[in-house]
Every structure is written in C-alpha cells, then in structure tokens.
Structure 1
Amino acid sequence: MSAAEQEATKALESLSFEELSLLNERKEALKKDHAAYVESHPEIKTLLSGFMSALLLEKPQDVVAFAADHFSAFQPPHAELPPIVIAGPSGVGKGTLINLLLEKFPSTFGFSVSHTTRGPREGEVDGVAYHFTQKEQVLKEIEAGLFLEHAEVHGNVYGTSKRAVQDVQQKGKICILDIDIQGVQQVKASGIRAKFLFIAPPSMDELEKRLRGRATETEDKIQLRVKNAAGELAYGQQPGVFDAILVNKVVDDSFRELTDTLKQWYPTVELK
C-alpha cells in the first residue's frame, strides 16, 4: 500500500459512524446525479461509442492526437459559411455546374470529396472525383460514426465523411456537397446548418437524352436512373425541402442563375 493510500485509510478510520454514513449518502447521491445526467444526454453514449469504434478500427499509436482529431470533426461550421448541399437526378448536370464554381471561384468554394464503392469512370482520379474504396471499409467507418451521410445508390455505397467537410471549412471556404436525396435527408436530420439546392432537368425526356449522351451506362442502368429520377423530382419539388430549385436548361444561363443565388445566400462573401 502506498503512502497516499495509507493516509486515506487512516482518514477514513478516524471518521465517526455518522460521518461515514453522510459520506456514503453523498457518494450515492453523486452516482444517481451522474447517471441521471448521462440518461438525459444519450448523445454522450453515441459520441463515446463512435470514438471507441474509430479507435479500435484505426489502432493509432498516439491515442491523444487521434482523439483530438476525431472530436474536432464535431465542431460546428463557420457561422458565415454554411456548406451548400446540391442534389438532383443523375445526369441533370450537377457536376458541370459544380466544376464551374470551383474553376471560376477557387478561393471561395471547395468540394467535399465523397467516398464510393463503385469503380472509377474514364478520367476520374482517386481522391479528386471520389475516394474509391472497398465496401467493407466504408461500412466499418460508417459504423464508427465517421460519416455525415451515406446511402446505397444503384448497388453502390456513397458517403460524405465529416472530415471531408471540415477539411474544406478549415481553409475558410464554402464546402460543396454533391449528394443524393437520401443523403440530403440525413444531413437535414443531423441538424447541421446548410443551404440546400436542387437541380432539376427541363423534362424527363431531356434527362434521358443526357444520360444516353454520357455513353457510360447500360440500357438497364439508364432505365433505372430514369425511374429513380421521378421520385427524386417529386421530393425535390416539395415546398420547403430545398432553399432553391434551379432548372438546368442551358449551362451558361443556369450558372448565372446559380451565381446570383449564391450572392443572396452569402452577401458578405466575395466570390473569387
């Protein structure tokens, strides 16, 4: 027994029965108080469980540094720079408009690179277009609470990690998220302050024409995407779901409309 433990034992032995009873009652009261607090804040267990899952998944040598990095992802976004969530049917032209924003205003906007389990298309670079990864790995990280949103679309898993969004925000830029409808619903449920933009096609016929023009899909996949687009349009056009709806007829006109919308959303930010 150490000297400190010996001193503590002597101190306890010197207490009267009444003092010991009061001490035990105080300890029990504190235990109940702590238990009630944890019970009223279920997010505590979620946060700690997510951290432990991530810790055991990564097994870092520097646990303290890993913990600091893990919990920093829960910091709220900059008050003046909420991220932009852009959604719309496959083939509607989201990627084209996003690329124009990044090209013309590189100091203002940054793209959150999503993870996906699908294979890369011609010209897509890992870490630029997507983080191409294995399904098993993504599911482990989702379970560990490392993702803001995720969804399975056309048989493949897509997701946005919290780190991807934070990396953009730490550079003082407005983060752009290109996600599907399931992802939009998850971001809304997360409570994160964001702007939501829906990109719609001029018509279903035009959407199918654009999908065929990509020449990257089989006939079955084209029909599946067209079928899914009907549900996505129905959701996107519900009042109050999105902050703005942009019909992408002609790219140049749509980009001007998009720029005008962003100036209204971020009046204190110079687009550059």
Structure 2
Amino acid sequence: MTTLLNGFSVVGHTLRSISITRFMSSATFRPLVVCGPSGSGKSTLLRRLLAEFPDYFRFSISHTTRKPRSEETDGKDYYFIERKTFEKMICENRFVEFATFSDHLYGTSFESLSFVQKSNRIPVLDLDINGIRSLKNQRFFAKYLFIRAPNVLTLERNLRNRGSEDETSLRKRLLQAVQDMEFVDKNPMLFDVIIINKDLEEAYCQLKSCLSDDIKALKEFLWKKS
C-alpha cells in the first residue's frame, strides 16, 4: 500500500507535480489566484473585474461536492458533482489542487485552466487558504491576491445581509474567516498583494492597479497575434 500524504498517495502527489510543471510550461499567461473569507467582498470585486475586462479575464470554474445555492448554475458558478465522482477525478490526477471546506470538497481541474488559456484570457482561480497552500507547495506560478474585510464585525454583517446561511453555517464561516485572517497575518509572504476592503471603490481601484501589468502584457500579446 502506498504511503498517504494529506489524504492521497505520494505517487499521486508526484504525478500532480509533473502535470503542473507541464501546464506551466505550456501556459501563455500567469493565472490570477484570489483568496478571501466569505463576506470580504471578494466575489463582488471579481465580478466587477470580469464585467469590465471580459476579454482579458475568465473564471476557471471549480468542481465541488456541495449542493448549489438557489442563485447558482451548474457549469457557470461551479461544476456540482457527487463526492464519488470527485474522488475518482483525484485518483485520475485531474486536479491542479483540491481541498476540503465546510465538509465539502473543492478542486481546480487542469481541463478548466486549459480551457481559459486557450481562449487567450487570464485564468482566475477563487481558492481558500488550503488551496493557496497547495499551489504554493507545488510552486505553481501565478499572481496571488488576498482580499479581506477590515474586521470580523464587517464580515458578519455582510454574511447576514447575504441571507444564504443558517446560524450554524454562518458561525462556522466566521470561525474559518478569523482563522484565515490570522494565518495570513502570520504568513503575508504567501501573497503578492493583500487588499483590505474598507471601501468597495477604493478596493476595486487597488485590484485594477495590481493587475495593470498583466492586462498590458495580454493586450500586447493579442495585438501581436492579430
């Protein structure tokens, strides 16, 4: 029996490293990897970025074993799959990274990343801290951003206003958010940029500013290709 490492085999870990190396060698653009706790305004900022720059950024759609929320669409927000299917994909080495959050599995597939790259757009990955650590451990070349609210009270207010969580789920997400922010405070070098979302307009300006070089490089690439 193969030795296990964080839930899957050392052999699987090695094969994933090889697959990531191959992907990075063929990738035209550096992916954007964004992390932020629920209620930080991360999703709002990313939706605005993709609305303003639809020809430059596109979400790499993740797979998850959780059930879709009422406003979510399969194949647009996530690929919603059964746990058995997800575990089969792990065994087939089809994920760049995968992690557990609130008892559900989430993962980024090589197919999703390649699909975005082939459309000549920068892939956007929305990951939790475990996903970030996984990519960093694999030396996955990307631009890493962390978006946070100024304090826990703001997080709680935003989550309650969203109205998609029951009290137990909300408390679990708040606890996870506090742990994530404390971890980032102790390990800021995990990220290229940390944005504190005190004001949405200011935060969005910071987001665009830190991506200006990436947008410029892609514009030049598309111009030369045309």
TM-score, length-normalised on structure 1?
0.71
**TM-aligned CA deviation for residue 192 of structure 1:** 1.9
Q: Secondary structure at the match of 1:129?
A: coil
Could you tell me whether the CA contact under 8 Å between 1:197 and 1:242 is conserved in 2? yes
State whether residues 63 and 78 of structure 2, in contact with CA within 8 Å, keep that contact through their aligned partners in structure 1: yes
- Answer whether contact 2:28 2:117 (CA < 8 A) is retained: no
After superposition, the C-alpha distances for 1:93-147 in whole angstroms (9 at most, x for unaligned) are 1111111111110110010000111111122110000001101100110121100
Secondary structure at the aligned position of 1:124 is classed as coil
Residues 114 and 160 of structure 1 are in contact (CA less than 8 Å); yes or no, is this contact kept in structure 2?
yes
Change (3 A) 1:77 1:244: farther
Given that residues 62 and 79 in structure 2 are in contact (C-alpha distance below 8 angstroms), is that contact kept between their aligned partners in structure 1? yes
Structure of greater relative contact order (alpha carbons < 8 Å, 6+ residues apart): 2
1:187-226 counterparts in 2 under 5 A? 187-226=135-174
CA distance in 1, matches of 2:148, 2:36: 6
The C-alpha deviation readout for 1:17-67, integer Å capped at 9, x for no partner, is xxxxxxxxxxxxxxxxxxxxxxxxx989954xx8xxxxxxxxxxxxxxxxx
Q: Gaps spanning 5+ residues in structure 2: where?
A: 1-9
Asked whether the 8 Å contact 1:80–1:266 carries over to 2, the reply is no
The CA distance in 1 between the partners of 2:204 and 2:11, in whole Å, is 41
Q: Distance in 1 between matches of 2:148 and 2:13?
A: 40
Q: What is the SS of the residue equivalent to 2:123?
A: strand
Paired residue for 2:77? Answer: 129
**Residue 51 of structure 2 aligns with which residue?**
103
Hey, what's the Cα distance between the residues in 2 that align with 1:228 and 1:72? 28
Hey, what's the Cα distance between the residues in 1 that align with 2:12 and 2:157? Answer: 49
Of the candidates 81, 84, 90, which is equivalent to residue 142 of structure 1? 90
Q: Which amino acid aligns with 1:76?
A: M
1:82 alignment partner, one of 9, 12, 30: 30
Tell me the TM-score normalized by structure 2. Answer: 0.84
- Describe how 1:62-73 pairs up with structure 2 within 5 A: none
Larger radius of gyration: 1
Residue 159 of structure 1 and its aligned partner are, at CA, apart by 0.7
Distance 1:230 1:176, change over 3 A: same
SS in 2 for 1:119: coil
Q: Secondary structure at the match of 1:233?
A: helix
**Cross-structure match for 1:239:** 188
The one-letter code sitting in structure 1 at the alignment partner of 2:55 is S
Cα separation, 1, equivalents of 2:181 and 2:142: 20
* AA partner of residue 70 (structure 2): E
Q: How many angstroms does 1:156 deviate by?
A: 0.9
Provide the C-alpha distance between the structure 2 equivalents of 1:184 and 1:203, rounded to a whole number of angstroms. 22
Change (3 A) 1:112 1:73: farther
Change (3 A) 1:78 1:255: farther
Query: Is the 1:151–1:159 Cα contact (8 Å) retained in structure 2?
Result: yes
Taking the aligned partners of 1:142 and 1:192, their CA distance within structure 2 comes to: 18
**Distance of aligned partners of 1:82 and 1:205 in 2 relative to their CA distance in 1, 3 Å threshold:** same
Change in Cα spacing, 1:241 to 1:89, as seen in structure 2 (3 Å) is same
Question: Does 178-187 or 236-245 show the bigger shift?
Answer: 236-245
Greater fraction of residues in strand: 2
Q: Counterparts of 1:261 and 1:130 in 2: how far apart (Å)?
A: 26
| SS of equivalent to 2:34 | strand
